[in-house]
Structure 1
Amino acid sequence: MHGWQFTGAGEPLRLVELPTPRPGRGQVVVDVRAAGLCHSDVGFVDGHITWMLEQMPIVLGHEVAGVISEVGEGVDGFAVGDRVGIAGDGLDAPGIVLDGGFGEQCIGKVDQLVPIPDNVSFVQAASGTDAGMTSYHAVRVVGGVGPGHKVGIIGLGGLGLTGARIAVLAGAEVYAAEIDEEKHEAGLAAGLTAVVADAKELATYELDVIVDFAGFGTTTAAAVEAIAPGGRIVQVGLGSVDMTISNQALVTKQLQLLGSLGGKKADTAAVYELMAAGDLEIVTTPLRFDQIADGIDLLRAGGVQGRLVATYDAT
């Protein structure tokens, strides 16, 4: 099989030929049909978060959807031909702990497999394993967003726009801050009440919860100043390593500041249910398998609409 292999920080991905993977106990082989590209992949390649990877060289790609082609020992509930997404749990995901979805095949751990509903495409399913799962977990689980809440979303990129839509579907009144005004229309189309350019402007709305999908330090500081007393801030974005916030505002407003990384298998399953019902569609930009290395460069440069997803010949 062929895969895009990462060999070290600062080195570009290389398309190489690799042995066909064989499943161990509790594992399956997945013929990849779609794989999402994430800003984390840029961080791996550029060296900012390469420390997260448990092996080197490695085939990246932690947003994976495909078809089971081989089943290992001890696997119950799944069979050859099943359509599945691989819902990695935090750092325990393909493309991080073992070769991932930027290869034509990869290993899936049975406890991370989520059946894909018949009316959900591989492209949407791949996006749902990370962009969907991470957004759902941050908004619904860590943020506790539900009916009647007033919610702020900072950043309307691939994660933020999805998180905003999930908050709307949860019955919340949702506002967003996005510096790129070309993305404002997409936010309003997703059901947001208003979109502003600067996170500081969110103070107008007396928000119960703010989810920061940007994470540039200044955005988190703005969230601390903007949120209502007793509010909850969920930090997802890692746009910068450090942040400086107002300790006075944090204490006197009695705020909660929580970090959220990835999600759980149940979060991906919930996202698939929303997709199957026709309520959620993650905005994606397609590219071919042979363009994955170019896709990393596109993400690094910025300006990609939604989630970049590579599709494979059999899709």
Structure 2
Amino acid sequence: MKAWQYMGERKPIQLNDIPEPVPGPTQVIIDVKAAGLCHSDVMYMEVGDQAMPFLPMTQGHENAGVITALGAEVTGFKVGDVVGVCSSGVQAPLGMFTPGGFADKLAADYRDLARVPEGLDLSLAALATDAGMTSYHAMIKVGGAAKGMKVGVIGFGGLGQIGARAAVLAGAEVHVAEMKEAAWDNAREVGAVSCVKDAAEWVANPRAGGDFDLIVDYAGFDTTQKAINAVKRGGKVVQVGLGNPTFTVATNTILGKKLEGSLGGTVEDIEEVFYLMLRGEIRPGYEEIGFDEIDKGLERLKNNEVLGRLVARFGG
């Protein structure tokens, strides 16, 4: 079968012929139908030589498809079921520690499977398994966004667009900080009441925000300190984005405030997002590309040339 693999030495991803996977006792084999592309895929190639347990590594951690084979200990699923795979579940993270879904077939633990409801497009199902899960979990489960809260969203990309909408659905007043002004109309469409280019404006210009109860940083560049500055005493900053490997925080600015990291989520989070998408309450912007364009798609992500999410659709 065909698989896009990271070969090492920070070289671009490469399309290879590899053997088809065989399911372990608790695994299923999935014919991959859609796979989301994520900035984390690019990051993995920057640190992969030190972090990945073996090379080459088939990448791709945002996948949906159809079960074609079952391990001996699998329960609750059958051949033909349509599923998405939780990228932060029982099995080691896909695409970095175990082979991922930029391939014709994927082996996944059955306990990490989320059932795709009938009628949900598989591109949406794929992006919900990471972009949806991670953004929703950070905003709702970790951040606790709720009615009456003033919420800031830093980065209106693949994750931020879903996190912002989830906060709006929860009844919060949502403000967005996004450098790409081309994304501002989309931010307003999901319910954001204001947009700025730089989160620093939330302090410099009170009309653009300020006194936030919660800020979720989906960017993670020079943004964390700005979020801390803008959140009120007793408020919380949730860090999700990994744009920079390290950041510094002025000690005096964090006193009386909360800074918490959020990583991934659960199968339950994914299934909640599935149904919000199925009902049309969350409608993330995305662009479909072909399986043979995954390398070019990752390069576009690296160069910050993508609005929303990229999803590769597979043939068949």
Compute the TM-score of the two structures, normalised by the length of structure 1. 0.95
Aligned partners of 1:176 and 1:202 also within 8 Å = no
* RMSD, aligned α-carbons: 1.4
**1:69 to 2:71 alignment:** no
Which of 222, 226, 230 is 2:226 aligned to? 222
Aligned partners of 1:43 and 1:50 also within 8 Å = no
5 Å-filtered alignment, 1:221-260, equals: 221-251=225-255, 254-260=256-262
Aligned partners of 1:4 and 1:103 also within 8 Å = yes
User: Deviation of residue 249 (structure 1)?
Assistant: 1.9
Aligned partners of 1:55 and 1:96 also within 8 Å = no
Q: 1: distance between equivalents of 2:87 and 2:49?
A: 17
Q: 1: distance between equivalents of 2:103 and 2:150?
A: 42
User: Deviation of residue 200 (structure 1)?
Assistant: 1.7
Change (3 A) 1:49 1:145: farther
2:301 is aligned to 299
User: Deviation of residue 43 (structure 1)?
Assistant: 1.2
Change (3 A) 1:166 1:49: farther
User: Deviation of residue 50 (structure 1)?
Assistant: 4.9
Q: Tell me which stretches of 4 or more aligned residues in structure 1 moved more than 6 Å.
A: none
Aligned partners of 1:94 and 1:107 also within 8 Å = no
Which of 278, 281, 284 is 2:283 aligned to? 281
Aligned partners of 1:174 and 1:194 also within 8 Å = yes
Q: 1: distance between equivalents of 2:22 and 2:74?
A: 14
Structure 1 unmatched runs, 5+? none
1:164 is aligned to 164
User: Deviation of residue 248 (structure 1)?
Assistant: 1.2
Q: 2: distance between equivalents of 1:195 and 1:287?
A: 29
Change (3 A) 1:126 1:52: farther
Seq. identity, %: 43
Q: Deviations over 1:215-234 (max 9, x none)?
A: 11x31111111111110000
Give SS of 1:144's match.
Answer: coil
**1:112 to 2:117 alignment:** no
Q: Which moved more, 1:99-108 or 1:240-249?
A: 240-249
Q: 2: distance between equivalents of 1:243 and 1:98?
A: 28
Aligned partners of 2:8 and 2:48 also within 8 Å = no
User: Deviation of residue 93 (structure 1)?
Assistant: 2.6
Aligned partners of 1:128 and 1:272 also within 8 Å = yes
Provide the aligned length of Structure 1 versus Structure 2: 310
Aligned partners of 2:165 and 2:282 also within 8 Å = yes
1:210 is aligned to 215
Q: 1: distance between equivalents of 2:48 and 2:201?
A: 32
Q: 2: distance between equivalents of 1:117 and 1:282?
A: 17
User: Deviation of residue 55 (structure 1)?
Assistant: 2.8
Q: 1: distance between equivalents of 2:13 and 2:227?
A: 37
User: Deviation of residue 49 (structure 1)?
Assistant: 5.3
User: Deviation of residue 48 (structure 1)?
Assistant: 3.4
Give SS of 2:164's match.
Answer: helix
Letter in 1 for 2:266: K
Q: 2: distance between equivalents of 1:122 and 1:40?
A: 21
Q: 1: distance between equivalents of 2:185 and 2:47?
A: 32
Q: 2: distance between equivalents of 1:280 and 1:50?
A: 37
Compute the TM-score of the two structures, normalised by the length of structure 2. 0.94
Q: 2: distance between equivalents of 1:97 and 1:120?
A: 29
Structure 2 unmatched runs, 5+? none
Q: Deviations over 1:155-200 (max 9, x none)?
A: 1111111111111111111111112211111100111111112202
Aligned partners of 1:152 and 1:210 also within 8 Å = yes
User: Deviation of residue 88 (structure 1)?
Assistant: 1.8
1:23 is aligned to 23
1:181 is aligned to 181
